[in-house]
Amino acid sequence: MPIPWLEAAEPFPPLQRALKEPNGLLAVGRSLTTTTLVEAYSHGIFPWFNEGEPVLWWSPDPRMVLFPEDLHVSRSLARRLRRGEFTITADTAFGRVMRACAAPRDGQQGTWISARMIAAYERLHLAGYAHSIEAWAEGDLAGGLYGVAIGRVFFGESMFARRADASKVAFVHLVRQLEAWRFGLIDCQMRTEHLARFGAREIPRAEFAAHLQRLVPQPSVAAPWTIAPTMPEPVGKGSG
C-alpha cells in the first residue's frame, strides 16, 4: 500500500495503514506547525526524518512505553540520586537542551534533530506543549531531555549527558514528577535497552492508541513546569 502524501491540514490516515517495513512509516508531507504536531502526537504519530527529506510521520508497532509506576532505578543510580550531585530544573533551557541533543554522538555522522526540527519544537515549547528537564552541575548544563506533553501523556524525544548519569538523574526526576501529576503513560517510541532497564516495555500499537484516547483529553499541567527539588525514594519493584 503506497504511503500517502498529505497536503496542508489533510488528516492523518488511520494508524493501521502504517507500513510494517520500515516499521511504522505512515505518511509524508504536511508541515511542522504547532497545530500539526499536536494533532500528530495526540494520535500516536511523530515526525522523524533527515535534513533535506520531506517530513516523514511514524507510528511503530509495537510501541515502547513506560508506565510511571513501573520505573526501575538501579542501586548505583539510586546512590547517585541520594548524593544530590545535580540540580534538576524544568523549562529553563529548552533550546539549549534540544541543541545539545542534536550534537553528533560517538560513531554518528549527523543527527535527525535539524534546525527545522529545533525551530518547530521551540514554537511548541512557547505554546506550552514541549518541555525540557535540565541537570546542572556547578552551574553548567550537564545533561537533560525534552519531549511533548498532551493531557496526561509525556512523549519523550531525546536526551543527552555531558557528565556520567546526568540524563538518567533528570529522567528519574521527570518520571517521579509525572507520577505525582498522575500521568498515565510515557511514550518511548521504539525499543532501546537503555529504556528497558528503566522498566519500559513494548505494547501493541492498538493498546497504545487506547491509552491515548483515555489520557490525552485529560487536563494538561500548565507550563512552565516546575520539578520538585526532592522526590521520594523508589519502593517495591521500582528499585533494586
- In terms of C-beta density within 10 A (0-12 exposed, 13-18 middle, 19 or more buried), how is residue 147 classed? buried
Rounded distance between C-alpha atoms, residue 160 and residue 14, angstroms: 33
pLDDT at 238 (0 to 100)? 45
Domains of the chain: 5-60 (3.30.70.3550), 64-238 (3.40.630.70)
Give me the sign of the Cα torsion angle 101, 102, 104, 109: positive
Residues of the chain with pLDDT under 50: 232, 234-240
What is the model's pLDDT at position 73? 96
Of 214, 217, 208, give the one whose Cα is nearest residue 45. 208
For residue 237, the model assigns a pLDDT of: 44
Rounded (5°) CA angle 103-39-43: 95
Q: What is the pLDDT of residue 239?
A: 45
Question: Which pLDDT value is given to residue 228?
Answer: 82
Q: Tell me, what's the pLDDT at 52?
A: 86
- Average predicted confidence (pLDDT) for the chain: 93
Tell me, what's the pLDDT at 57?
A: 98
Instruction: Say which residues have a Cβ less than 8 Å from residue 99's Cβ, sequence separation at least 6.
Output: 118
In this predicted structure, what is the pLDDT of residue 107? 52
